[in-house]
Structure formats: C-alpha cells, structure tokens
Amino acid sequence: MKSARTRRVQRAPARLLAIDIGNTHTVLGVFAGERLERLWRITSGVSRTGDELGALVEVLCRPYIDPIAGGGSVVVASVVPALTAEYEAMARRLFGVEPLVVSSLTPSGVRVELTDPSSVGADRIANAAAVARGPLPAIVVDLGTATTFDVIRPGRRYAGGLIAPGVRTSADELFRRAARLAKVEIRKPRRLIGRTTEESIQAGVYYGAIGAIDGIIRRLAAELRRPARVLATGGLARLVAAGSETIQEVDEALTLRGLARIHRLNRESSRESRASR
C-alpha cells in the first residue's frame, strides 16, 4: 500500500470561467469542457472595484479557484465599459490569468454582416456563436435591460436584429411616471382581465411584452421567408416563454455557452499558430 507521501496527487481538470457583464445583471458560469457546472447571477454594480469583485467572485468560485488558476481560463463579454477593466483586473489577481475579452474583432465562428461590426455588443455575438452550430436560420431573443432580437442566417452569418426596451425597463418607467400606480412583481397573471389595479398592471406588462415579442418574431420569420428556430435567454426568458406562441427553446445560459465556444475557437487557433512556428 502506498503511503500518502508517495501517492500521486491528481490535479482537478482545468475550468473555464465565463462572465457576461450586462447593464443590470452579470452572469458567471464555470465550464468543464462544454458542460456548465455552476451559474450565478449578480447585480452589475458599476461602482465596484477590481478588489471588491475579487472578494465576491472568490466566495462564489471557491471550489473552482485552483482549477481555473491551474491551467484554466477566463472569458468576458461586457456592455459596461466601466466594469470591463475591473473584471480583467479581478481575473489577473484572483486566478493569475489574462482573460479573453470578446469584441467584434474576436474570431467567433460567425460572420458579422453589418455596416459597422464594432457596433454589435459582445453579448449578441456570443448569442450568435452559441446557436450557429445548430439549425439555421435562428432568432435569439435576449430578455435583459433591453430586449434584443438577433438573426443568424445559414452559413453562420449574423444578419443583425432589433433592440427594444426591456420588460423590466418598460415597467419601471411606467411606475416612475404614473405616481398612483404601485410597483408590482412581474409574473404571469391568473387572468387576462385584471380585477384590481395590481392584476391589471401585471396583465398589461406580461401580455404586452409577449404580444410585442411574438409580433416581432412573426415579422422576422416573414422577412426570412422560411421557418426559423427561436430561442430565448436572459433572466425573464422562462417566464416570458411560458406565455409565448413563438419561442421554441429557453436557455438562460446561452450567452455563456457562446462565450465558451468563442474561447475554445481562439484557444485552438492559438495552439495551431504556435505549432506552425
């Protein structure tokens, strides 16, 4: 029997930490290969420093710190420039790695067919990358601070899309402007015809959002002139999809999966480049 001193210590497989920084929430996920092991959703908190983020992420990722630091990686998509550098600093200090920060210039496996590719948010590129290997065309509905619609055509071509006010953003503006309307929880109401002010607001917000989303998806499908796969992601995706007639799939981690694919693509490209030298 081998002594503890002579036993081989098995290192934990390397992990990838994917971070999607949004205006309202930041979503973090740890991948082992293509499998998502853990997911967290936190407030974005624009005033947070790299040190504060390091302390928070250290608590969340404690079981994964060594697997990320010991041969793992970090990939980031951000629509909040003030936080991008802070998360980069956090990755260096906590894990000792240089993160891959995704932009329109980052190889993603998707061809961005826009006049100004730099205007496309990294999160939308990640969403396109996540669905590009599946049946196309596809429409991705991302329900965040804004509700975005992205169209990916056959040939892994990102064709563009739409940006509309988010469900919570619209509701918060209603509550702000109408002094006598109390803020209510956004959820599926028991009935369409509200019998109280609260029920009326909930029905209006919920079915108003679904009506707008279904209407836009139908118009997009008509413009594409062929059936499209429709996926929803974001914090409200499952709630909205429950009442939608057009959303076919829900994946709350879709953006993170896209970031993981982009990271793998760039890692493989880097290895091939080194091997050819």
- Does 169 show up as a binding residue in the annotation? no
25 is in an annotated binding site: yes
* Identity of the residue numbered 190: R
The pLDDT value given to residue 189: 83
- Provide the pLDDT for residue 277: 56
- Confirm whether residue 251 is marked as ligand binding: no
16-101 carries CATH number 3.30.420.40: yes
The three-state DSSP-derived secondary structure of 155-194 is CCEEEEEEEEECHHHHHHHHHHHCCCCCCCCCCCCCCCCC
- Predicted TM-score (pTM) of this structure: 0.87
Q: Is 27 annotated as a binding residue?
A: yes
Q: Are 137 and 228 within 8 A, CB to CB?
A: yes
What's residue 180's pLDDT?
64
The CATH code that applies to domain 111-258 is 3.30.420.40
- What mean pLDDT, rounded, does the chain reach? 88
197 is in an annotated binding site: yes
CATH 3.30.420.40 boundaries in the chain: 16-101, 111-258
H or E segment to which residue 17 belongs: strand 16-21
Looking at residue 16, the DSSP 8-state letter turns out to be: E
pLDDT value of residue 275: 58
Q: Is 21 annotated as a binding residue?
A: yes
Residue ranges, the chain, pLDDT below 70: 1-12, 46, 179-182, 269-277
| Residues tagged active-site | 123
pLDDT score recorded for residue 197? 81
**Ligand-binding site membership of 263 (annotated):** no
Residue type, 249: E
Do the beta carbons of residue 143 and residue 235 sit within 8 Å? yes
Annotated ligand binding at 122? The verdict is yes
Query: In terms of Cα–Cα distance, which of 133, 140, 134, 135 is closest to 159?
Result: 140
